[in-house]
Amino acid sequence: MAHISFDASALSKFVHDNELGEIQPLVTAADKELRDGTGAGNDFRGFLDLPVDYDKDEFSRIKAAAKKIQGNSEVFVAIGIGGSYLGAQAAIDFLNPNFYNQQKGRNVPEVYFAGNSISGNYLYDLVQLIGDRDFSINVISKSGTTTEPSIAFRVLKEKLIKKYGAAGAKERIFATTDRAKGALKTEADAEGYEEFVVPDDLGGRFSVLSAVGLLPIAVAGGDIDQLMQGAADARTEYSNPDVTKNDAYKYAALRNILYRKGYTTELLENYEPNLRLFGEWWKQLMGESEGKDQKGIYPSSANFTTDLHSLGQYIQEGLRNLMETVVKIDEAPHDVTIPSDDKNLDGLGYLADKKMSYVNDKAYHGVVMAHTDGGVPVMTVNVPKQDAYSLGYTIYFFEAAVAISGYLNGINPFNQPGVEAYKKNMFALLGRQGYEELTKELTARLNK
């Protein structure tokens, strides 16, 4: 029996009983493409077996490095963009208290992320926040030339050298990069940074269960053994192409059925604030995997009940192109009992002595009924607990689902050709060597 459960019962008015059976041959064919490596992007299927087929020696070094950082650093900064940080930050937020960086008495460093924007203001504030405290950094980049993390690495490396000297700084820089080539690999080899590998067969958005995500997660106190075990068990659970026996494939099939009926935007929703970054990770996973050839479900996210007070009206009565997937935690780490109040001026007497989790659960059920009545299909992924095992399981669920979903829609779910277009324009406008002709063209367009 699967550790997490997928509930599609609210789709009865949107998907007919026969439709899953009708799409099954396509799912079976997509599964064969994925498992046999005959589909597009077959060089990037490493996520399939990663939970069991990973470098055990490197895994041990990751845990040792995390312990070293925990012992000598008050602050840890992970430098990366896209898949090089989203999975790690989502996992750390999922596994820790909402205000973990402000909590006293934790035996781990404060954890921050840099290199995911070109905001000088953000990086300045981060440098000021670190101040004179002891810190270490993990620079995560396969090439070592991506603009955002490269800038942040320069700035934070300079701060390390000023504080510890060149030799001391090397002991506090950890590089996660390509196994054999690239600017960061060259620098790490020359300077003697401890190195971890971005596997060749993993796209960035599938890399959270590799060293890319594991080192930051371990530094923050996450149990990476249990994280990998959860993913390994999910790998076994989601290996059958039969959608009646494989919830990840069932989810992929249903969202494609709905997409073909005009539900072109999917909202991933949660009812716990520290799942907000999980939604950001999911958006990259789905959007970068499926948005190609003028096709694909547009991924968005919402945080309930918070966003019901801003997006609720649109979801309920706006354009009928939305479907919703809720990631629902069955048992949150902590709870609060609502106090009684004899005056009852706020009218909450009917909730006195009830747990907030009880109220949150009723809100979820009420929202599902309202939205389905309003013409919005809702699916739910029920996750038992906010622990590392459950997270690993859930990560694998969505990774397997998007691979099948991409093949069902006739696209390569593992490449991302469109992300280079804006980079070329940016490099040209910044005057990077080799872009001279494009610089002239774009400058002329700007000056019109």
Rounded to a whole number of angstroms, the CA Rg of the chain reads 23
| Residue 430, pLDDT score | 75
Catalytic residue among 181, 295, 423, 424: 423
Catalytic residue among 266, 269, 272, 288: 288
pLDDT above 80: residue 270: yes
| Residue 442, pLDDT score | 74
pLDDT above 90: residue 292: yes
Q: Give yes or no: 288 in active site.
A: yes
Taken in order 257, 261, 265, 266, is the CA torsion positive or negative? negative
* Domains of the chain in sequence order: 5-39+241-409 (3.40.50.10490), 47-222 (3.40.50.10490)
Interval 11-18 mean pLDDT? 95
Nearest CA-CA partner of 391 in 93, 168, 186, 191: 93
Give me the torsion for CA of 19, 291, 9, 91, rounded to 10°: 150
**pLDDT grade, residue 44 (50/70/90)?**
very high
**pLDDT grade, residue 93 (50/70/90)?**
very high
pLDDT above 90: residue 319: yes
The residues, ordered by sequence, that sit 6+ positions from 358 with a Cβ below 8 Å of its Cβ are none
**pLDDT grade, residue 198 (50/70/90)?**
very high
**pLDDT grade, residue 320 (50/70/90)?**
very high
**pLDDT grade, residue 447 (50/70/90)?**
confident
Q: Give yes or no: 423 in active site.
A: yes
